[in-house]
Structure 1
Amino acid sequence: MLDHVGIPVQDLGKSQAFYEAVLKPLRMRLVAGDGINYAGFGAGEHGVFWLGPSGKPPSRTHVAFAAEDREMVRRFHEAALEAGAMDNGGPGLRPHYHPDYYAAFVLDPDGHNIEAVCHKRM
């Protein structure tokens, strides 16, 4: 199951305004953003659809898969590296997102940022 997706955009302000309008009927709203580097939309308090400028790294698609527990995140990371992915952030807590955000990141063969994340408290 997907946890969240991020896409690069040419003009963050223009894209943010566009998605604010088109996601409103789906009961999604802007839940995070600084107007310069990112914008996150969701129906709850966490973003599930993210925008970021394509001119700044990372300027690639980002997909995060939901993991049931932290061990699943570790196994995802190990399997991805064995399959030829490049490490983009090993398994661990990312408290700058929220205190229980446990994730691992890899770059797939095309350079897309692929993540597995568990939000559950230990």
Structure 2
Amino acid sequence: MIGYTMVGTTDLKRAERFYDPLMALIGQERCYCDEQVASWGRKDDDRAPRFFTGYPFDGNCASVGNGTMTAFLVESADVIDRMFEIAMERGGRDQGKPGFRPQYGDGFYAAYVRDPDGNKLAFVCYDARKSSASRT
């Protein structure tokens, strides 16, 4: 259903430094990069969804939409914990520490951050195991 998602940035190099290690943790490669945009996904499958960040096409400043969020499906709570740490180290802002969200399902584990440009991101796992760590 989704071909790609794109979020705006005011500093592409900073955005690349923020997203490169996060995408690597979930097996997404840098697929494309020029002076306007960078993308991550699967180089071997151009039909798989990709994630982009870049300067807005119209040349105006990037702006963040209230209620807009990109959620990345992650294989485990441990990877989400690491992604959250990296996001905080790379200039992200905490919008919801890693943890179970039982209101969304028994195994729903997530963390919420804003990237350095203010774009909201979620790292989610739908079937995390409580026994894998001491999370509440």
The TM-score with structure 2 as length reference comes to 0.45
User: In the alignment, which residue of structure 1 is the partner of 2:86?
Assistant: 79
Q: Deviations over 1:1-57 (max 9, x none)?
A: x9xx8xxxxxxxxxxxxxxxxxxxxxxxxxxxxxxxxxxxxxxxxxxxxxxxxxxxx
| 1:63 maps to 2:70 | yes
Structure 1: 5+ residue runs without aligned partners?
6-57
CA contact (8 A) 2:106 2:127 kept: no
CA distance in 1, matches of 2:107, 2:76: 11
The TM-score with structure 1 as length reference comes to 0.50
How much identity, in percent, do the aligned residues show?
Answer: 39
Cα distance change, pair 97–65 in 1 and its aligned pair in 2 (3 A): same
Displacement after TM superposition at 1:106 (Å): 0.4
User: In the alignment, which residue of structure 1 is the partner of 2:107?
Assistant: 100
The alignment partner of 2:84 has SS state of helix
Runs of 4+ in structure 1 off by over 6 angstroms are: none
CA contact (8 A) 2:93 2:113 kept: yes
The alignment yields a C-alpha RMSD, in angstroms, of: 2.0
Displacement after TM superposition at 1:63 (Å): 0.5
The alignment partner of 2:121 has SS state of strand
Q: How does 1:1-122 map to 2 (within 5 A)?
A: 59-122=66-129
Structure 2: 5+ residue runs without aligned partners?
6-64, 130-136
Q: How many residues align?
A: 67
CA distance in 2, matches of 1:91, 1:59: 21
